[in-house]
């Protein structure tokens, strides 16, 4: 059993045993394998498979392996893994595909799949829809000789690559690492210890029930324990990872939280110590502080639609060395493979701060004050949301300058803006605003909500 709604824009994700079951997993694997074989035009393929620490992770892994091997594809099983570790392993091992079994930051009932095709390119959109279409038609390749399976870890190679970015640097700082009982807890403490830091472990035991809080640093409510531990331990920084290790959050020695836009600013400062005149990609919801920072260093900010795949595509199109999103995904192509990696992002940020011997507050003390809202989500059916957005755009364009790269972004002429766009994955319209004062920021949100209310 598998229901169509779990096939999303960038991955397959749903409640296990309610929205898909063991047979559904087998069928997903068969469909994915069939698509890889048909595209490759050959029968000898090898893929890499890993999983996060969810309670039913091994059960789902076993079913997936049964399905994929039935197509004749060989499997390298890397076991417990973060998503970036799986991506790295797929590139490093030059495999024909890769799958990480994960539901990222979702609650314990969920599981899912992030899939890579040839060249390490993530399946998305129509390619994920094609997986469901294969399941519906049951048009699977069934090999007379099933594929084999070998177990192999690429952790040492992955860790060595990450540490190579700070080779020769000496660090001395205490950091609290909150893994939220996700799979990053297996790896992060040792990685940062080898970097020369002194990690204090918080919820680093892997427990798919997530008994303390969800591993989702974008939700600031999940950072409360991290803030308290930083203060009680006298740590210099605290970092929190999401469930599959492709996003992270940071707090300073006072427990103050710095959002993803501010992490992006540090990454920009860091890369321009080595590079010049480069392109850096950000999405339309990113703070204008980011594009200003890129320009100030002589680089070129390149704006694109919201979504991992759009960031990666735009990075390739303009030969960018880095990309980022307010959700906390940061993509690296400087002597790397272009995917999002929270371990690498954290290493880069901590390296910069310790090299400069600066606190986060000191880094940002001269920054213009800007107020950026959290992303607000408004329920609108999938059938209506495009028509609603079209009407909103028409109203806004009558009075203000607008951009339509992704939805409608309205510029008010005083440095403030508001964006209204449809969700790629849910029946929602999302809005976010930025201004030089909190009051004006709220005014911009009120304006776009009033326009939306006319059509919902």
Residue with tokens 């087998």: 26
What confidence score (pLDDT) does residue 52 get?
98
pLDDT tens sequence across 29-88: 999 999 999 999 888 999 999 999 999 999 999 999 999 999 999 999 999 999 999 999
Distance CA 177, CA 401 (A): 44
Residue with tokens 């710095």: 258
pLDDT band at 251 (very low <50, low <70, confident <90, very high): very high
Q: How far is CA 374 from CA 90, 107, 281, 444, in A?
A: 34, 21, 21, 13
Fold type of domain 260-361: Alpha-D-Glucose-1,6-Bisphosphate; Chain A, domain 3 (3.40.120)
What confidence score (pLDDT) does residue 424 get?
78
What confidence score (pLDDT) does residue 94 get?
97
The fourth-level CATH superfamily of domain 157-258 is Alpha-D-Glucose-1,6-Bisphosphate, subunit A, domain 3 (3.40.120.10)
Q: Which of 104, 285, 416, 433 is catalytic?
A: 104
b/e burial code for range 230-239 (CB count within 10 A of at least 16 → b): beeeebbbbb
Phi and psi at 243, nearest 5°, equal -65, -30
What confidence score (pLDDT) does residue 308 get?
86
> Any residues with CB less than 8 A from the CB of 100 and at least 6 apart, and which?
49, 50, 51, 52, 81, 82, 83, 86, 87, 113, 114, 244
Q: Where are the alpha helices (DSSP H) in 149-212?
A: 155-164, 188-194
Q: Based on the number of CB atoms within 10 Å of its own CB, is 296 exposed (0-12), middle (13-18) or buried (19 or more)?
A: exposed
- End-to-end distance of the chain based on CA atoms, in angstroms? 34
Helix, strand and coil content of the chain, in percent to the nearest 5, comes to 40, 25, 40
Q: Which has more pLDDT, 308 or 401?
A: 401
b/e burial code for range 171-193 (CB count within 10 A of at least 16 → b): bebbbbbbbbbbbbbbbbbebbe
Q: Is the dihedral of CA 295, 300, 302, 308 positive or negative?
A: negative
Do 451 and 396 form a contact (C-beta atoms < 8 A)?
yes
| Average pLDDT across the chain, whole number | 96
The domain ranges of the chain are: 4-153, 157-258, 260-361, 371-453
Q: Is the pLDDT of residue 431 over 80?
A: yes
Phi-psi region for residue 279, left (φ > 0), alpha (ψ -120 to 50) or beta? Answer: beta
Reduced to 3 states, what is the DSSP secondary structure of residue 400? coil
User: Across 284-375, where does the E strand assignment appear?
Assistant: 300-304, 322-324, 330-332, 371-372
Distance CA 278, CA 276 (A): 6
Phi and psi at 256, nearest 5°, equal -70, 135
Distance CA 357, CA 35 (A): 51
Distance CA 92, CA 88 (A): 6
Do 356 and 418 form a contact (C-beta atoms < 8 A)?
no
Do 200 and 260 form a contact (C-beta atoms < 8 A)?
no
Q: Which has more pLDDT, 307 or 232?
A: 232
Q: How far is CA 335 from CA 15, 129, 271, in A?
A: 37, 33, 12
What confidence score (pLDDT) does residue 106 get?
93
Q: Which CATH class is domain 4-153?
A: alpha beta
Do 53 and 37 form a contact (C-beta atoms < 8 A)?
no
Do 355 and 347 form a contact (C-beta atoms < 8 A)?
no
Distance CA 214, CA 220 (A): 11
pLDDT band at 425 (very low <50, low <70, confident <90, very high): confident
Is 104 assigned a catalytic role? Answer: yes
Distance CA 312, CA 304 (A): 10
Residue 372 token pair: 């950026």
Least Cα distance to 424 among 5, 8, 17 occurs for: 8
What confidence score (pLDDT) does residue 33 get?
98
Q: Which CATH class is domain 371-453?
A: alpha beta
Whether 4-153 shares its CATH topology with 371-453 is answered no
What confidence score (pLDDT) does residue 9 get?
85
């Amino acid at each position: 059993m598998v229901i169509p709604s779990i096939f999303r824009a960038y991955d397959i994700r749903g409640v296990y045993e309610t929205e898909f079951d063991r047979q559904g997993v087998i069928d997903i694997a068969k469909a994915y394998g069939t698509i890889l074989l048909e595209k490759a035009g050959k029968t000898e393929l090898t893929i890499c498979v890993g999983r996060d620490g969810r309670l039913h992770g091994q059960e789902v892994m076993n079913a997936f392996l049964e399905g994929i091997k039935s197509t004749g594809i060989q499997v390298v099983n890397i076991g417990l893994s973060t998503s970036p570790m799986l991506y790295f392993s797929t590139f490093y091992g030059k495999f024909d595909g890769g799958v990480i079994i994960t539901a990222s930051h979702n609650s314990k009932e969920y599981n899912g799949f992030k899939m890579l095709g040839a060249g390490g390119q993530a399946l998305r959109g129509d390619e994920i829809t094609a997986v469901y279409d294969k399941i519906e038609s049951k048009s699977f390749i069934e090999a007379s000789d099933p594929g084999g399976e070998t177990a192999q870890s690429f952790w040492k190679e992955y860790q060595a690559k990450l540490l190579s970015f700070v080779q020769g640097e000496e660090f001395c700082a205490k950091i609290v690492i909150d893994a939220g009982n996700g799979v990053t807890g297996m790896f992060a403490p040792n990685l940062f210890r080898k970097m020369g830091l002194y990690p204090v472990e918080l919820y680093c035991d892997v427990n798919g029930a997530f008994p303390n809080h969800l591993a989702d640093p974008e939700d600031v409510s999940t950072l409360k324990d991290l803030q308290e531990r930083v203060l009680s331990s006298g740590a210099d920084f605290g970092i929190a990872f999401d469930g599959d290790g492709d996003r992270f959050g940071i707090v300073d020695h006072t427990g103050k939280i710095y959002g993803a836009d501010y992490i992006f600013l540090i990454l920009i400062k860091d890369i321009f110590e080595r590079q010049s005149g480069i392109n850096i990609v950000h999405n339309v919801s990113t703070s204008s502080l980011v594009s200003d920072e890129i320009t100030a260093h002589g680089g070129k900010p390149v704006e694109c639609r919201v979504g991992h795949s759009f960031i990666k595509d735009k990075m390739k199109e303009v030969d960018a060395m880095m990309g980022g999103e307010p959700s906390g995904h940061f993509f690296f192509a400087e002597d790397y493979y272009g995917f999002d990696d929270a371990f690498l992002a954290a290493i880069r940020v901590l390296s910069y701060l310790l090299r400069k011997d600066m606190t986060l507050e000191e880094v940002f003390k001269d920054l213009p004050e800007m107020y950026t809202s959290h992303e607000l989500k408004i329920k609108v059916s999938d059938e209506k949301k495009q028509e609603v957005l079209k009407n909103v755009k028409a109203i806004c364009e009558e009075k203000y300058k607008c951009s339509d790269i992704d939805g409608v972004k309205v510029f008010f002429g005083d440095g403030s803006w508001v964006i209204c766009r449809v969700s790629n994955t849910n029946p929602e319209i999302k809005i976010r605003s930025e201004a030089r004062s909190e009051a004006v920021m709220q005014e911009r949100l009120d304006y776009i909500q009033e326009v939306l209310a006319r059509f919902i």
